[in-house]
Amino acid sequence: MKEYKNTQEAVAELKKMQERMAAYSHASGMLYYDSVTGAPKETTEGRGHTMGIISEDSYRILVNEDTPVLLDYLIANNDQLDENTKLEVKELKKDYDETSKIPVDEYVQYSILLNEAENIWHKAKIKSDYAMFEPYLAKIVATTIRFAGYLDPKKKPYDVWLNEFEEDLTMEVADRYFETLRAELVPLIKKVAKSKVKIDDSFSHKNYALNKQRKFSDYIMNVMTIDRDHCAIAETEHPFTINFNKNDVRITTHYIKDNLVSSMFSVIHEGGHALYELNGGDEFMYTCLSGGTSMGIHESQSRFFENIIGRSEGFTGFLYPYLKKLFPSQFKDVTKKMLLLAINKAEPSLIRTEADELTYSMHIMIRYELEKKMISGELSTKDLPAEWNRLYKEYLGVDVPNDKEGCLQDSHWSGGAIGYFPSYSLGNAYSAQMLNAMKKDLNVDALTAKGDLKPIVEWLKEHVHKYSSSKKPPEIIRICCNEDFEPHYYTDYLKEKFSRIYELKD
């Protein structure tokens, strides 16, 4: 058992521990990044071998018999710590306690279950055979409920998991949020479907040479003021962003020959994530407070750039001459207006990942309702497909033809991520509220129309990015917006925008 001479020595130990955690996270992040960008196809086994060892060693940096001694010593001497160190101790204590609350054998059993479940889910999805997957989902739901009891027996199980994925999020907040969406968006989506405006986006599916699309990515990243000396772009199947530290961020995209906008919006979206990381506070480097504070706030940054900036009339007008010059034949008969409409085509559909800005959150709302009911016991996993299909009909007006395009479409539940979906949609809502606040300081529309994004990025840096993980999501919203989270900014934004696009009356 370790003993500490003084607080200084214990703080040094704490910093060293976090530096090691950062290093191991960098190394395993690197292995992951390589695996989905440059690695040859048949190299999974050797990488799995390495990652198993690295992640076990990494886990032991935090979870060992010395850590509680260190953390308890620092908690006892909390008054001698500076503010950031206090936060680090709090954060690490929480992480450590969580790992010790779930009995090791149950944790191992669950890992084995998830491994099997993901494998079976893959097969079930291909065959569109929910019955194959149902017994696994039933066990996952049961374990999720049981583990919630270990983590915080005082809270309702679903609240425990919402909080795991988006700190301080509760069903109370989420219910109010989704109720607002339901009331405002379901009617709006129906109106849009009946609009006389019919959007033809066929020009965006002409042949767009990959090398020119690559050039366009560089252009977008420059306009977004992304520092290329600290941020690279690579190609992958499913685009994502990864940060090894605040000075080394990688975004990825996927180029499709007959789809101009797919990679374009991937780059803008991932660029938003990248800016959050690149602009984080220097003082948090190599500590547990580095990096974005939550999935929801992260998504607010990516969606801010993708939708609020990227799909705006002003930015479309700014990009138009560049695109017309880069792709003269494909853009021969394309007007600014046509480009704006093409990237804002809204249409209820079956698949979440392909949904447009207007209908996206409906997909999340459906999943939220289903998760809530499964965790409360109100909905049996056996009845999931029927309920899924009923909600898709009710909210989006679409008929689900099979489970492959229905409740088997996402991998999340097979990986045990119940409570994760809401943060995707919250990001959108946060971003609309941020826009409202930003507009008090900046002429956002004028800047966007000029492609002058620097003041916008600076505003986000000052109000969001620089805090890294040192503030929780609700604190960030308060700092940013001078009020608590309010869902109506998001629905107002969507109503205003899509009424304009689809020329809706009243």
* 248 phi and psi angles, rounded to 5 deg: -150, 90
* CB closer to a copy of itself, 409 vs 469: 469
* CB closer to a copy of itself, 44 vs 78: 44
- What is the closest distance, in whole angstroms, from the C-beta atom of residue 57 to a copy of itself in the complex? 7
* CB closer to a copy of itself, 274 vs 456: 274
Backbone region of residue 156 per phi and psi (left: phi > 0; alpha: psi in -120 to 50; beta: other values) = beta
- What is the closest distance, in whole angstroms, from the C-beta atom of residue 17 to a copy of itself in the complex? 11
- What is the closest distance, in whole angstroms, from the C-beta atom of residue 3 to a copy of itself in the complex? 21
Calpha distance 265→219 (Å, rounded) = 13
Calpha distance 423→435 (Å, rounded) = 18
Calpha distance 455→349 (Å, rounded) = 36
* CB closer to a copy of itself, 21 vs 171: 21
- 3-class SS at 262? helix
Calpha distance 343→366 (Å, rounded) = 24
Q: Per-residue DSSP letters for 130-166?
A: HHHHHHHHHHHHHHHHHHHHHH-TTS-HHHHHHHHHS
**Structure tokens that stand for 25 in this block:** 């996270």
Using the structure block, give the residue that is written with the tokens 């600014």: 336
- What is the closest distance, in whole angstroms, from the C-beta atom of residue 458 to a copy of itself in the complex? 20
Calpha distance 292→286 (Å, rounded) = 13
- What is the closest distance, in whole angstroms, from the C-beta atom of residue 112 to a copy of itself in the complex? 21
Which one is catalytic: 166, 270, 277, 313?
270
Give Cβ neighbours of residue 394 (< 8 Å, ≥ 6 apart).
186
* CB closer to a copy of itself, 57 vs 394: 57
* 235 phi and psi angles, rounded to 5 deg: -110, 140
Number of separate helices (H) and strands (E) present in the chain: 20, 3
* CB closer to a copy of itself, 32 vs 150: 32
- What is the closest distance, in whole angstroms, from the C-beta atom of residue 416 to a copy of itself in the complex? 25
- What is the closest distance, in whole angstroms, from the C-beta atom of residue 214 to a copy of itself in the complex? 12
* CB closer to a copy of itself, 280 vs 427: 280
* CB closer to a copy of itself, 290 vs 361: 290
* CB closer to a copy of itself, 14 vs 309: 14
Footprint of a copy of itself on this chain (CB under 8 A)?
Answer: 19-20, 22-24, 26-28, 30-31, 33-34, 37-43, 45-47, 49-50, 52-54, 57, 211, 228-232, 234, 244-245, 247-248, 250, 285-286
245 and 261 in contact (C-beta within 8 Å)? no
- What is the closest distance, in whole angstroms, from the C-beta atom of residue 48 to a copy of itself in the complex? 10
3-state secondary structure 445-476: HHHHHHCCCHHHHHHHHHHCHHHCCCCCHHHH
Instruction: Count Cβ neighbours within 10 Å for each residue of 142-160 and write b for 16 or more, e otherwise.
Output: ebbbebbeebeeebbbbbb
Calpha distance 163→66 (Å, rounded) = 28
- What is the closest distance, in whole angstroms, from the C-beta atom of residue 228 to a copy of itself in the complex? 6
Handedness of CA 256, 263, 313, 304 (dihedral sign): positive
Handedness of CA 135, 136, 139, 144 (dihedral sign): negative
Handedness of CA 268, 273, 277, 280 (dihedral sign): positive
171 and 160 in contact (C-beta within 8 Å)? no
- What is the closest distance, in whole angstroms, from the C-beta atom of residue 27 to a copy of itself in the complex? 4
Amino acid at 141: V
Amino acid at 102: I
* CB closer to a copy of itself, 240 vs 322: 240
Of 375, 368, 452, nearest to 180 by C-alpha is 368
Using the structure block, give the residue that is written with the tokens 């407070």: 289
Q: Is 497 exposed, middle or buried, given 0-12, 13-18 or 19+ CB atoms closer than 10 A?
A: buried
Please indicate whether residue 483 is annotated as part of the active site: no
Angstrom CA distances, 153 to 101, 109, 146, 157, stand at 11, 21, 9, 8
- Catalytic residue annotation: 270
